[in-house]
Structure 1
Amino acid sequence: MNGSAYMQGHDASTLASHRTRSAEKQADYLLPRITATSRILDVGCGPGTITCDFAKLASQGEVIGVDYSETAVGSAQAEAEERGITNVKFRTGTAHKLPFDDETFDIVHCHAVLVHIPDVPAALKEMRRVCKTGGYVAAGEPDWETCIVHPYDPRLERWIEVHRELKRRENVEPRCGRYLGSWALEAGFAQDKITVACDVLHYFGAEQVRWWGELYSKRMQTEVGERALKYGVATAEEVEQFATAYLRWSQTEGALWAMTRMKLLAEK
């Protein structure tokens, strides 16, 4: 991934969010394709929780996680060491220039990566290149135009608008999920080899809402808020209001945050 397009950064609050991810939750649609001997590439692996889950499933195979961020790679290596997983490796790299030969992996996966990078068809083409014939490229990506925050708060509605505009300023597509099928076609996959499904990412209930709201409130005080100011899409006062609004939302009974997530599975 190109770091300049990843507006959330890799500070403690962002990595804390990413550490909650698992193969069971974020890559459920891919799990039936994984065998004990699979060779898997996880692109944009972040702190490596999904990657390490893949390594447990492919116990006799090999799993490699790639991320542009050295901070994320270091966190992922620590995750593998803590779990005692030995068939996984991590290295730096980008989705547009993967440091591997053609036809190397049985499965090439990414989660919430393509929404952060420009020229997604080129990235999918590169993922297809390193995938073996008969193997699979998989991607789970959100569609920010479907985001729902309840109860209504004009400050949070304004934040969603700002978030979309930030994406566009970074030359990335906030509605990424809906384009996965057509982008896969552009990358060279055949129509009858492409499957796109969807589910809904959501936070509801006191514990989930408190965690998500407090997390996003902290993000406003780091790179997310800084980029909003850098590009002039929000004022310092608004950024402070966004942080306050998320904190208030996190303490609201009956609160809900939801967004559609699309899941691409393309056979080479």
Structure 2
Amino acid sequence: MAVYITDHSTSVLKTHSWRTASNSAAYLLPHITPTSKILDIGCGPGSISVDFARCANHGHVIGIENVPDPLDQARHLAASQGVTNVDFRLGDIHALEFPDNTFDIVHVHQVLQHIADPVKALCEMRRVVKQGGIVAARESASMTWYPENPGIGNWLEITQRMGKAKGGNPHPGRYIHIWAKKAGFDLANIRKSAGSWCFSTPEERQYWGVSMAERVLFSGLAKTAVEEGYATKEELERISKGWREFVEDEQAWFGLLHGELLCWK
């Protein structure tokens, strides 16, 4: 039921490793206590999970992924930073291997858009969170950039088309609260907010633009796009060139808006 259109190659993990609790889960941080027990679904290389573990320094964090590829990197990150109250394991968001009412917080970041049945996933998240606990979700909603860049525009069109064709829901941040209501959360217990990323300084453009230029050529996205006819190798090369033009343009910036949810059981 997973429809993730790329993989966990080096170029992909490079972008995921940039994510921290402060730049990607600030809306949730005030609700983490020193003793919180947290499940981080789709933990990737563990950068958000490890930050959660620091906040819940007398609690515990479990990070799960549906494939083993990024988990060694996550374990290495925790060990290198001396964080011991976190562990990483395989898991399926549609069938979580935990008893009912296990966690104080269950968190996902840019995961629901990559699965075929986000309502079922949210039902599982609701099941394993304690009464009075929080299910937290953050999903991209829209993107914008300056100046006009045909390569970036083509990248967005191709990735959205691939995601929809494979049964996903690209950039659903504006309506994830509808999924939460269908999963059984009372509307009065759903808090909606918005957060954003912006890449505009030379360092930010270098990180984001170079990472995306590499991902479009050297990841599962590139392989799938060519093999399944969503794009030619030449198109992907033009997209990569567009991202590198973004990096070099001192006037350029890229913004990404996220929809955020806090759902109390």
TM-score, normalised to structure 1, is 0.95
User: Does the residue aligned with 1:178 lie in a helix, a strand or coil?
Assistant: coil
Give the whole-Å Cα distance in 2 for the aligned partners of 1:199 and 1:159. Answer: 23
Partner of 1:247: 244
- Specify the alignment match of 1:18 in structure 2: 16
Q: 1:214-245: CA deviations, max 9, x gaps? A: 11110011212122123312122111111111
1:200 to partner: Cα distance: 2.1
User: What fraction of aligned residue pairs are identical, expressed as a percent?
Assistant: 39
Structure 1 segments unaligned to the other structure (5+ residues): none
**1:34–1:58 contact (8 Å) kept in structure 2:** yes
Residue from 209, 214, 218 that aligns with 2:214: 218
Summarize the alignment of residues 90-239 of structure 1 with structure 2, pairs less than 5 Å apart.
90-143=88-141, 146-221=142-217, 222-239=219-236
* Residue of structure 2 aligned with 1:260, choices 224, 242, 257: 257
For residues 36 and 256 of structure 2, what CA distance do their matches in structure 1 show? 31
> What is the CA–CA distance in structure 2 between the aligned matches of 1:10 and 1:64, rounded to whole Å?
19
Higher relative contact order (CA 8 A, sep 6+): 2
Residues 180 and 196, structure 1, Cα contact 8 Å, conserved in 2: no
Cα gap change, 1:135/1:45 in structure 2, threshold over 3 Å: closer, same or farther?
same
| Residue of structure 2 equivalent to 1:61 | 59
Quote the offset at 1:73 in angstroms.
1.3
3-state SS of paired residue (1:124): helix
Q: 1-side partners of 2:131 and 2:194: how far apart?
A: 25
Q: One-letter code of the match for 2:227? A: K
Coordinate RMSD, CA, aligned: 1.2
SS of 1:94 mapped into structure 2: coil
CA distance in 2, matches of 1:214, 1:65: 28
Question: Retained in 1: the 8 A contact 2:151–2:240?
Answer: no
Question: Secondary structure at 1:250's aligned position in 2?
Answer: helix
Q: Kindly report structure 1 stretches of 4+ aligned residues shifted beyond 4 Å.
A: none
| TM superposition shift of 1:118 | 1.3
Question: Mind listing any 5+ residue stretches in structure 2 that lack a counterpart?
Answer: none
